[in-house]
Chain A
Amino acid sequence: MNRSRRLRWQAAAIMTATVLGVAACSSSSSSSTSSSSSSSSSSSAALTASAPGITPTTITIGSHQPLTGPAAPGYDEIAPASTAYFDYVNANGGVYGRKIIYKYLNDAYDPTTTASVVRQLVLQDNVYAIFNGLGTPTHLAVVSFLNSEKVPDVFVASGCECWDEPSTYPETFGWQLDYVREGKILGQYVAQHFKGEKVAYFYQDDEFGMDGVKGLDDEIPASQVVSKQSYVDTNVNIAPQVAALRASGAKVVISFSIPAFTALLKLDSLKLGFNPTLVVSDVGSDPITLSGLLESFAKQGGATVNGNQLTQGIITDEYLPALSTSDSWYNLFVKIHNQYDAKEPLDGNFFYGMAVAYTFVEAMLKAGRNPTRADLTSAIESGLPQGPMIAPFAYGSDDHDGVTGAYIGVIQNGVVVQQGSVMTTDTTPTGAITAYTGTEQTAPASGVPSP
């Protein structure tokens, strides 16, 4: 008895020491943000605390991101990449001299947690805006709260059509290609290139997947679609759905899935000796994230696979330029990445995080020197330059959708290779899909958008 009690206290003491040790290590590695003051050169009115979250020297914005949980692989690189871009802007004069402070909290892709952390950001931390909140089910949990509090809810990291409701949600703006447009562009490609072949869908059972299916159905003849299988992101056992896809005899499987489930779809298909042409929505097809997931999932199952080999030939779409050194944006973002965010991989998520941060800086510059919250939303409604995107934005007073077009790409040796030209369209069932004739913009030499 006495001995067991002593053991218990010893164990407790060891645990405490470990925790203190961890805390000590963490505090020694704390990085203080660079405090090089940048005096604004422009000579207009003095900078004031014009809105919640804005002081004469700072702009504080917040976000909810899945840093753990099913959606974390890949997506957890986005916010660090955005932070890196903001750090770069801060070091190069900031936004009219103000530094951007980006506070993002982990919601583990769980809507109840999202509700809690977003209230923390808005009610306690008084952020100016919620920026790039990630996920359809998660962000839906806070969209009415943000709009009733009149907090700008900009560039949601989800292509759900639900963000484009200016009359209900005047504060909310999409950014990436919405899933209806994406479904239409992918659908048109499949209808043209796999004429008469059996096609099956695999999609996440929420607005994300269903919007995608809506777009696909606009383009692919119903007679060609032999099976529609859905999954729920909390259940990783998708063997029954994959078996049904195989039984349908589909030659092409179109997947609206997050990366973890794209990887599971591929592995479960392999297990059944089912090898259709995979067409995967942009959000679930980043080759580097995918190949990492494929290898780690296979390892958990006791197998070894070559991730790049398995992603070979996957058809997808892209609304950001290809990751290639011939692209001015890629070169700019890699330079910033190496300076501020070198630990994260150079994949589509890094590019996404940088590009959306660039768009935010564009919007802030347009909102003016001493912006209110309403100034930001009206700045976006008056339209934004397309910046790093490959097609223009849809923004207008009656349109809160983001980018309007994409190109089809095929994954070859771990990179997405562009096929054909950029296609733009709208969200209506009959709206034409047309080749975009405008040209991509080049990155500014300074790396910061001009006001």
Chain B
Amino acid sequence: MRTLPRRLGVAIVVAAIVVLLSIKLNSFRDYQIAEIAFEVTAVAGLTVLTGLSGQISLGHAAFMAIGGYTTALLLLHLAWPFYAALLVAAVVTAVAGAVVGAAAARLRGPYLAGATLLLGVALPAIAYAWPATFGGDQGLNVAFTTPAFLGVNFPPTRWLAWVATLVALIVLVLLANLNHSRVGRNWRAVRDDDVAAALDGINVAAARILAFVVSATCAGLAGALLAIVTTLVGPGSFTLTVSISLLTAAVLGGLGSLAGALWGSLVIILVPTYVTDVATSHGLSASVGSNIPIVAYGVLLILVMLVFPQGIQGGLTRLFSLFFSGPDQKPRTWRTAPTPHVTPSADQAPASQHEKEGTL
């Protein structure tokens, strides 16, 4: 019980920092804060699914698509206020998560990976089938205006950064509480040994489905945020590459750790722009400079996996315990997952990235 005030305190401190940063930094950085916020929301959901309940999803962008399109359609056709659309998007993706979760609870390892991969590839393609409703390849433009009380000169990106951060923080606090509750303990029990968990009276299938519902809801919220932040939802926003990069962020940050979700998202969003800036400021030729971010991304991934096999958060915990080796330094074992049913190998993500970028 006493951990809840602590988590709320952390969330409020983070919110204060984000507000300060958003005022201090330029509008583009505000936009990046908003991007990081929706990335964190999705990655946190995925890290709970894979790291805590031991199920893998290679198609999480599909849930983002459901959330994004729901929001876009509600805002476009019914002119709903954004927060209402956000709630509906969460509910719709939760239902979708329950359906997929019910199927997923019967599948293991590579079969689950295959099924979710199928979902990730097939679902965004629905947009092509009904271009009149979903705008086809172009997608739907989402109009989002800042509330009137902020005045006309208030930068819209700052407001977006605030909204997205608020949603991300609420999601993180709720997930942290869930993980520490009986639900979280059940998930870890199912992940580590489902037979033992069943013998202990845990309903394994229900636990697995619930994990999918929670995770899908997070992805749906992330998709809704993406819709208003980028003012566009289209099949191009929810490709397989997006699904893989979500998983990459989760693994990079430290599977099963919510703080890790933040580190992973920071890397995914900030490294490409930073490296591009460095490459262009060094006057590299376009053909070299434009490929440097992909190289840097791959190198970073390999380095983290070599040096911190438990992800960035796992590495930080280890470093911390090295420097401050106190009596209670033993890291809590649940924070980082052992082996989920399918361990996403470090080279999987950059390979797919490369496939998309390179071969054609």
Contacts and interface: CB of A to CB of B under 8 A. Distances in A.
Interface of A: 8-9, 11-12, 15-16, 18-19, 22-23, 26-27, 29-32, 67-70, 76, 79-80, 103-106, 108, 110-112, 115-116, 119-120, 122-124, 137, 140-141, 144-145, 205-207, 232, 234, 236, 260, 300, 343
Contact of A68 (B27, B143, B291): B291
Nearest to B357: A68
Contact of B282 (A9, A27, A112): A27
Contacts of B296: 19
B236 A67 contact: no
Contact of A123 (B157, B234, B280, B302): B157
A288 B71 CA distance: 45
Contact of A70 (B302, B303, B360): B360
Contacts of B28: 119-120, 122-124
A141 to B, nearest CB: 5
Contact of A111 (B232, B280, B293): B232
A110 B236 contact: yes
Interface stretch (B73-81, B133-141, B248-256): B133-141
B303 A16 contact: yes
Interface string B278-301: 111011111111111111100100
A115 B231 contact: yes
Given A26-B279, A123-B26, A234-B239, A12 B303 contact: yes
B267 to A, nearest CB: 15
B307 interface: yes
Nearest to B294: A68
B360 to A, nearest CB: 5
A112 B237 contact: yes
A141 B137 CA distance: 11
Contacts of A23: 278, 282
B29 A19 contact: no
Nearest to A121: B28
B276 A206 contact: no
Contacts of B239: 110, 234
A205 B128 contact: yes
Interface in B114-166: 125, 128, 136-139, 141, 143, 157
Nearest to A206: B137
Given A15-B303, A137-B137, A67 B360 contact: no
Contact of B138 (A79, A122, A207, A260): A207
Contacts of A112: 226, 230, 232, 236-237, 242
A137 B357 contact: no
Contact residues of B: prevailing secondary structure: helix
17 contacts: A29-B283, A29-B284, A68-B290, A68-B357, A76-B290, A80-B286, A105-B276, A111-B237, A115-B231, A116-B32, A119-B28, A119-B157, A123-B28, A123-B157, A137-B236, A141-B230, A207-B138
Interface in B163-209: none
B128 to A, nearest CB: 6
B189 to A, nearest CB: 29
Nearest to A104: B286
Contacts of B287: 67, 76
A23 B302 CA distance: 18
Contacts of B283: 29-32
B307 A8 contact: yes
A343 B138 contact: no
A137 B231 contact: no
Q: When A and B form their complex, which 7 residue pairs have the shortest distance between CB atoms, in order from nearest? A: A67-B290, A124-B28, A123-B27, A206-B137, A123-B28, A30-B283, A115-B230
Nearest to B226: A112
B352 interface: no
A108 B285 CA distance: 16
B306 interface: yes
Nearest to B280: A103
Contacts of B136: 205-206
B356 interface: yes
B60 to A, nearest CB: 15
Given A8-B307, A76-B287, A123 B282 contact: no
A24 B29 CA distance: 28
Nearest to A79: B286
Interface string B236-277: 110100100000000000000000000000000000010010
Contacts of B293: 106
A69 B236 CA distance: 13
A384 to B, nearest CB: 28
Contacts of B295: 22
A13 to B, nearest CB: 10
B63 interface: no
B212 interface: no
